[in-house]
């Protein structure tokens, strides 16, 4: 009999973290792999944020804090929601966790009963499915269409809702597609939700600030304030301020959910790192120019990689609105053979081929619920990205 709990059988290790560690292993062995699998910016954390952490340490802010976040960080989060989203919250409607993933986990764990359904549009961020499964919920995966940027439509949402639906998860800009919902798209989704008063909506806004071409960010609550008593807004400092390692995420939502999350946290992690919380206060309250200057760099990389991928026979890549991923279709390469006679039967074969032969790490689309696609992160240096795109082009041209 295994020592491991049977619930572990429901989940898998995060495939994106696996790819990154696979690439890191090869790099450590002296192999010149270019990793385009990771979900984090290449830039350092801005100096003002790091200084705030030093000061917090000097002031001995090194002890336990309130379980679900310091008063100062909750206030900074409330101000952020007011400033960026015109949303008003009370501290009792805010929770801070050890990363957005942790806050998402707690929100789902606190609310999902055995068999409750959670609607998740494809392609989805890998963790949604596993987190719902570990909470004994049932992920209801809804197919979307490449022609509208893989976004959930009012019709497909309506068709997916049952009397067991607990949550709908929306993620904009999306990991992996980079698509962002427009006001009108969210308006029509909100109209469906207004007809289903028992359905809650979780909007994952972690890429809110990484949006290009002067597009304006909306989440469902900004579009329909009547949904406030059943919307959970998930956000964090990881992506906007290049703070993935600091592990601070936060959520805003109905008081009963916030209280339940705090209870779970009090019996698991306790408070998020006190120093990271102090740094996050500075991230949210301090100068915001890092976001703008980093987006200027990212958008150039986006345009470069999209152009390069679309020049490859058999690859089709849409221009993403935001985040730092492209999600090209490689459908026309499926069924081809490598020079060594290996058959590319699916996107995993393709990703393995790129890793082994082109020394480029990308994530197969199947990790996000989509065959025939790969996710490529362009949050890496211009030189590495250029070299990687040349290697990908050359590897694809070798396929017959
Ligand atoms: N949501 C999405 C869509 C993400 O891609 C990620 C990270 O990759 C997160 C949430 C969680 O980020 P973190 O736990 O670093 O705050």
| pLDDT tens-digit map of 294-311 | 999 999 999 999 999 999
Output the six-digit token pair for 231. 């919307």
In whole angstroms, give the CA distance from residue 76 to residue 312: 46
Q: What is the pLDDT of residue 7?
A: 86
End-to-end CA, the chain: 48
| 13: pLDDT strictly greater than 80 | no
103 lines ligand 1 (CB under 6 A): no
Output the six-digit token pair for 280. 């996050």
238 lines ligand 1 (CB under 6 A): yes
Torsional sign, CA 123, 265, 62, 232: positive
Out of 25-34, 160-169, 184-193, least confident range: 25-34
- At 86, the pLDDT band (50, 70, 90 cuts) reads very high
In whole angstroms, give the CA distance from residue 46 to residue 243: 9
Q: What is the pLDDT of residue 124?
A: 98
Written as one string, the DSSP assignment of 45-69 is PPHHHHHHHHHHHHTT--S---TT-
Query: Measuring from atom 12 of ligand 1, which residue has the nearest CA?
Result: 100
Q: What is the pLDDT of residue 105?
A: 98
Q: How many CA atoms lie within 13 A of 296 on its CB side?
A: 4
Across the beta sheet with 374-377, the strand order is 325-326, 374-377, 363-364
| 20: pLDDT strictly greater than 80 | no
Strands 117-121 and 138-142: parallel
276 lines ligand 1 (CB under 6 A): no
Q: What is the pLDDT of residue 305?
A: 98
Mean per-residue pLDDT of the chain: 96
Check if the beta carbon of residue 88 is closer than 8 Å to that of residue 138. no
Report the atom number in ligand 1 closest to the C-alpha of 104: 10
171 lines ligand 1 (CB under 6 A): yes
Residue 101 vs residues 206, 230, 313, 363: alpha-carbon distances, Å: 10, 20, 37, 19
175 lines ligand 1 (CB under 6 A): yes
In whole angstroms, give the CA distance from residue 333 to residue 314: 6
Q: What is the pLDDT of residue 195?
A: 98
Q: What is the pLDDT of residue 117?
A: 98
Report CA(2)–ligand 1 centroid distance (Å): 32
E strand map for the chain: 34-35, 94-97, 117-121, 138-142, 165-171, 200-204, 231-236, 249-252, 325-326, 360-361, 363-364, 374-377
| % of the chain with per-residue pLDDT over 70 | 100
Q: Read off the pLDDT of each residue in 50-63 and give the average, rounded to a whole number.
A: 98
- At 19, the pLDDT band (50, 70, 90 cuts) reads confident
| Of residues 394, 240, 251, 209, the one with CA closest to residue 313 | 394
User: Pocket of ligand 1, candidates 16, 38, 100: which has the most ligand atoms within 8 Å of its Cβ, to mutate?
Assistant: 100
Residue 60: Cβ-neighbour burial (10 angstroms; 0-12, 13-18, 19+): exposed
User: Pocket of ligand 1, candidates 150, 181, 238: which has the most ligand atoms within 8 Å of its Cβ, to mutate?
Assistant: 238
CA angle (287, 289, 295) in 5-degree steps: 145
- At 93, the pLDDT band (50, 70, 90 cuts) reads very high
| 55: pLDDT strictly greater than 90 | yes
- At 8, the pLDDT band (50, 70, 90 cuts) reads confident
Report the atom number in ligand 1 closest to the C-alpha of 98: 14
For the packed helices 289-310 and 382-397, what is the interaxial angle rounded to 10 degrees? 20
Q: What is the pLDDT of residue 207?
A: 98
Q: What is the pLDDT of residue 330?
A: 98
Written as one string, the DSSP assignment of 84-121 is HH-----GGGEEEESSHHHHHHHHHHHHPPTT-EEEEE
Phi-psi region of 161 (alpha: psi -120 to 50; beta: other; left: phi over 0): beta
């Amino acid at each position: 009999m295994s020592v491991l709990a049977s619930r572990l059988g429901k989940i898998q290790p995060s495939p994106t973290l696996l790819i990154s560690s696979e690439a890191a292993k090869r790099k450590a062995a002296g192999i010149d792999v270019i990793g385009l699998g990771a979900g984090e910016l290449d830039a350092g954390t801005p100096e003002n944020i790091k200084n705030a952490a030093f000061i917090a340490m000097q002031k001995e802010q090194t002890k336990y804090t309130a379980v679900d976040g310091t008063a100062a960080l909750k206030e900074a989060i409330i101000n952020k929601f007011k400033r960026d989203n015109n949303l008003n919250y009370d501290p009792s409607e805010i929770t801070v966790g050890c990363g957005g993933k942790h806050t998402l986990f707690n929100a789902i764990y606190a609310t999902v009963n055995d068999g409750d359904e959670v609607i998740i549009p494809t392609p989805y961020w890998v963790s949604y499915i596993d987190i719902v499964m570990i909470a004994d919920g049932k992920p209801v995966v809804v197919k979307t269409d490449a022609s509208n940027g893989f976004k959930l439509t009012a019709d497909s949402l309506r068709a997916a809702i049952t009397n067991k639906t607990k949550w709908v998860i929306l993620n904009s800009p999306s990991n992996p597609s980079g698509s962002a919902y427009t006001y009108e798209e969210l308006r029509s989704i909100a109209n469906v939700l207004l007809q289903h008063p028992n359905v809650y909506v979780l909007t994952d806004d972690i890429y809110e600030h990484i949006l290009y071409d002067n597009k304006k960010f909306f989440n469902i609550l900004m579009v329909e304030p009547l949904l406030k008593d059943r919307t959970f807004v998930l956000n964090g400092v990881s992506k906007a301020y290049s703070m993935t390692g600091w592990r601070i995420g936060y959520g805003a939502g109905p008081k009963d959910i916030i209280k339940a999350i705090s209870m779970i946290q009090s019996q698991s992690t306790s408070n998020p790192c006190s120093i990271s919380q102090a740094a996050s206060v500075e991230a949210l309250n301090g100068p915001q120019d890092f976001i703008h200057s980093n987006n200027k760099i990212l958008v150039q990389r986006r345009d470069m990689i999209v152009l390069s991928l679309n020049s490859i026979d058999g690859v089709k890549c849409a221009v993403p609105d935001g985040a730092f991923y492209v999600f090209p279709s490689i459908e026309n390469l499926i069924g081809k053979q490598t020079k060594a006679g290996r058959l590319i039967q699916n996107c995993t074969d393709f990703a393995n081929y790129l890793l082994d032969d082109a020394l480029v790490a990308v994530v197969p689309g199947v990790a996000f619920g989509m065959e025939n696609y790969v996710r490529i992160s362009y949050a890496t240096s211009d030189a590495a990205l250029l070299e990687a795109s040349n290697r990908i082009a050359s590897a694809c041209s070798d396929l017959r």
